[in-house]
Chains A and B, each alone.
Chain A
Amino acid sequence: MIVNEQIAIEHGLKKDEYIKICELLKRTPNITELGIFSAMWNEHCSYKSSRLHLKKLPTKGKQVIQGPGENAGVVDIGDNDAIVFKIESHNHPSFIEPYQGAATGVGGIMRDVFTMGARPIANLNSIHFGSPQHKKTKNLLRGVVHGIGGYGNCIGVPTIAGQTNFDSSYNGNILVNAMTLGLVKKDKIFYSKAAGLNKPVIYVGSKTGRDGIHGASMASASFDEKIEEKKPTVQVGDPFTEKLLLEACLELMAGDSIIAIQDMGAAGLTSSSIEMASKGNLGIEINLNKVPCRETKMTPYEIMLSESQERMLIVLESGKEEHAKKIFDKWNLDFAVIGKTTKSKKIELYFDNEKVANIPVNTLVENSPMYDRKWKKSKLPKKNKFKKEDLKNLKIIDVLKKILSNPNVCSKEWIWQQYDHTVMGDTIQKPGGDSGVVRVHGTNKAVAASVDSSAVYCWAHPLTGGKQVVCESFRNLISVGAKPVAITNCLNFGSPENEENMGEFVECVQGIGEASEYLKFPVVSGNVSFYNQTKDEGIKPTPSIGGVGLIKDYHNMITMDFKENDNIVLVIGKTEGHIDQSLFARNILDEKNGPPPEINLFNEKNNGETLLKLIDNGFIKSAHDVSVGGIITAISKMCIKGNKGINLKKPKYLISEIEYYFAEDQGRYIIEISKNDLKKVTDILNKNAVHFDELGTINKNELYINDKTKVTIDELKTSNKDWLINYMSK
């Protein structure tokens, strides 16, 4: 086939990009070469629209061992231990084929982590679906949950936390973001940088098939009505093979045979070989006849672009081939020496004794396009229209029940009970808390992790929203007693070619950057997913933040369940009564206008750090951050979890009870302390200039408001628990 501009455009390249390829090569590429360019230059692999902005994120810190640019980020947690972690999207495949899409999303992110030598110790996920009333939502939810469970459960890595949201903006484009944490010794971290000449290049894992060809290109395009035709671009996962690959790789990594290792993820053999060569400033020569194939008559084009799962590329020390082969034979995995490193700085492919591709590596990587896309500054939010008098007629308990059964607040037990969250025997905080927590096996340390997004805030004001998500993550870690260490981000947006969507991206990234800089909570890994839209309609801007924190002694971990009758409950942080963009405003008042709550980074940091101090001193019996649904929603969850009630008394404020209890002001936590500690605790809070209100005392099983209105905790529990179960069983 002779390549021309039309064929290039069918590969998702733009006209000027095709011209640039011809210039760089000083000739017309052949079809295999064009395939390689299209895979490397698409948005998913090249970050061509986002690179410029991602550069502004703070990525360094005392504990950062490896920032963005490798398979995953790495942070130091002391005693020669390090945590490797990353979040990644698998949105498009999951919409087309929810089970396999979600499953391979989990498989892919785990490979990214164990490629670096780390044993995965925890999985998390952030999933977003369309309106519950939309005809596709239920099946997509069921398929995604089965897929995540199907893969993670089989590998034997606990799924310890996650988040599930519903919003009509995801009707035609769901989000599936998967995150993995792995544990590695600091001196046994593996990287993807090739080194040395004539070193054997090894292919291990599953055989290559025709599945997933152009998966990365598919992920770089918008959806239209022909979406079903794209099913063959979705990869098919096999967690059993991945489990074998994990064990085999870790066994090989225990020795000193590996120079570089890279998993074959998006764009398969193409991106893995090119990345290793590029980082090592070397060339790679591959004989494609040696690649283990599952199907007959596969062409070089297909072999290079296949996204078959569970495969790895390794540059070995010369002479270690036999040793390595023995390990992969033991685990019944394919092992083939398919090429070698060269000094040519080119990627040279041979097939049937012919050279089928010859491309300088730098043209694919350094010379890949980078765009400074046009973007529009977001408009100031419109003013809300509701009247304060409208609030007077509302009954708090009725509103509370509605909020607790709202799809975005209700208990997600139906989901996480389908994930094995206890395998590996170190899960000390299960899903349903502020963060999941796993012990560092055999030590007193524990790692907390949480994943968050706030699409509504980001939609209303991207800059504030971006800051808020980072703060929310910070708070979720602190609430379990963990010191926040670093974050990974998955940036889900609409089309970068749409100026408004691009504006949302730029401003959200700016917000994320400002907050993570101020909180010393650097970004060490991440992924960008653009084109989350169907036809012209983009999703709400949805950056997901995966936060990781450290608990030095796991015995001091905090949970959110109320512990003891007569203990005192305080709220840390000031309640101004910010109602706009709250769950209350959007769902009870049906008011979508107004700005999201403001973020005050000083208070955020100060409140959080002061709470950590209180935790270190042993004053905190339970804690929970205040997020959607406000103070009373947070308190209800603590009551439900602990099977306790509370006598609430609204402190003296100018705002009404409704505003006080449902406002979503930021930087707040609910804490439980014993009566005897009240003075000591309030002294510390006062000394650190942290605002607090006393809310009430814990009782047996009822929630009282001002001694007047009451509701039993069982009733609240029913409101909170039943919605999802009923929805899924209908």
Chain B
Amino acid sequence: MKSSVITFPGSNCDRDMDVALKKFGFKNKMVWHNDVEIPKSDLVVLPGGFSYGDYLRCGSMASKSKIMSSVINFAKSGGLVMGICNGFQILVETGLVPGVLLRNKYLEFICKNVFVKINNKKNTYFKNINKDVVEFHIAHNEGNYFCTKDQLTEIEDNQQIAINYCNKDGKIENQFNPNGSIKNIAGIFNKEKNVLGMMPHPERMIDTSLSGEDGSIFFKNLINNLK
């Protein structure tokens, strides 16, 4: 399976994603934001970081960079595009997934492990995954997902909510919401479920010596689904 990770100026989880993808069997290529074409890929990843220093709005400038028109076309033709953290912010700015990401409710950067409940397994990302609740890691300042009432109805009707913040037993309650996201939303799909944007970093959970191993489960499952 082939993957591409886009590096924008200010990306800083690009290497971590590269390490994770390779660990689970992807042939990964790093792609520079100023390139025009993405190489042939089964998966394109927009990594975390602070593309363009978060200037203007998080993800806004990166969403207009050269490579993105190629990424958008790839997504529209059904290719898998996953945006993590800042990558999610970029996806929102391109309009590939609905909604916006506001500053965290308590106005502070948060770096910690969280539990998320998988809300929809009928897609390439989570199909066959043997857990309903996984422990991921978040590290962000603007992860407070927000959308209009109409959008929310549409998202729910189309089962576009990918994951919600919850406790270890899968309870989705306000007290387990780290950033104030509407409905505890941690990740969201486009209508077709080939584009996934999420705040948590599965690439930081791929090793028992690190924060945990639920990221490994996610990546192993993903590559199996692609085979």
Q: What chain B residues lie within 8 Å of A554 (beta carbons)? A: 209
A156–B10 CA distance with the chains assembled, in angstroms: 9
How far is it, in angstroms, between the C-alpha of A165 and the C-alpha of B88 when the chains are bound? 37
* Contact residues in A for B55 (Cβ distance below 8 Å): 240
Contact with A along B27-52 (1 / 0, CB 8 A): 00000000000000000000011101
A149-B109, A154-B53, A238-B53 known; A422 and B210 CB under 8 Å?
A: yes
A114 CB to closest chain B CB, in angstroms?
A: 14
Taking a contact as CB atoms under 8 Å apart, the answer to whether A243 and B10 are in contact is yes
Contacting residues, chain B, for A424 (C-beta < 8 A): 15-16
Q: In the complex, which residues of chain A have a beta carbon less than 8 angstroms from the beta carbon of B206?
A: 425
State in angstroms the CA–CA spacing of A92 and B9 once bound together: 32
B13 touches A156 (CB 8 A): yes
Tell me the complex Cα distance, A149–B140, Å. 11
Please state if B211 and A422 are interface contacts (CB–CB under 8 Å). Answer: yes
Cα separation A419 to B19 with both chains bound (whole Å) = 22
Contact across chains for B13 and A423 when beta carbons are under 8 A apart:
yes
B190-227: which have CB < 8 Å to A?
201, 203-204, 206-207, 209-211
In the assembled complex, A428 has its CB within 8 A of some CB on chain B = yes
Nearest CB of A to B206, in Å: 8
B139/A422 in contact, CB under 8 A: yes
Partner of A417, one of B16, B111, B210: B111
A5 at the interface (CB under 8 A from B): no
| Best-surrounded residue of A331, A416, A417, A554 (most CB of chain B within 10 A) | A417
Q: Is A425 a contact partner of B209 (Cβ separation < 8 A)?
A: no
Contact B139 A427 (CB under 8 A): no
Are B9 and A244 in contact, with the CB atoms below 8 A?
yes
CB-based contact A417/B54 at 8 Å: no
A368 within 8 Å of B by Cβ?
Answer: no
Q: Is the CB of A331 within 8 A of B9?
A: yes
Return B84 CB to nearest CB of chain A, in Å. 12
Interface size of B by CB at 8 A reads: 31
Q: Are A156 and B210 in contact (CB under 8 A)?
A: no
Query: By the criterion CB–CB under 8 Å, are A425 and B16 in contact?
Result: yes
B52 touching A423, Cβ below 8 Å: no
Interface magnitude class on chain A: 20 to 34
A432 CB to closest chain B CB (Å) equals 11
Digit string of B1-36 for contact with A (CB within 8 Å is 1, else 0)? 000000001101101100110000000000000000
Asked if A421 is at the interface of the complex by the 8 Å CB criterion, the answer is: yes
Q: Does A709 contact B (CB under 8 A)?
A: no
Tell me which residues across on chain B come within 8 A of A427, comparing CB atoms: 210
Give chain B residues whose Cβ lies under 8 Å from the Cβ of A244.
9-10
Shortest CB-to-CB span from A706 to chain B, Å, is: 36
Minimal beta-carbon separation of B105 from chain A (angstroms): 13
Among A239, A240, A439, A557, max chain B CB count under 10 A is at A240
What is the bound-complex CA distance between A198 and B16, given in angstroms?
42
- Supposing A153-B109, A240-B50, A427-B210 touch, asked if A332 and B139 sit within 8 A by C-beta, the answer is no
**Residues 235-267 (chain A) with a chain B CB within 8 angstroms:** 238-241, 243-244
> Does B108 make an interface contact (CB < 8 A)?
yes
Whether B209 pairs with A439 at a CB distance below 8 angstroms is: yes
The verdict on A420 contacting chain B, using a C-beta distance below 8 Å, is: yes
Contact of A239 with B50 in the complex, beta carbons under 8 Å: yes
Name the residue among A423, A425, A428 with the largest chain B CB count within 10 angstroms: A425
Which residue numbers of A lie inside 8 Å of B, CB to CB? 146, 149-150, 153-156, 238-241, 243-244, 331-332, 416-428, 439, 554-555, 557
Q: Which residues of B contact A (CB under 8 A)?
A: 9-10, 12-13, 15-16, 19-20, 48-50, 52-55, 108-112, 137, 139, 141, 201, 203-204, 206-207, 209-211
Q: List 5 A-B contacts (CB under 8 A).
A: A156-B12, A156-B49, A243-B10, A417-B108, A425-B206
* 5 pairs of A and B residues whose beta carbons are closest in the complex: A156-B12, A240-B53, A425-B16, A154-B50, A420-B139
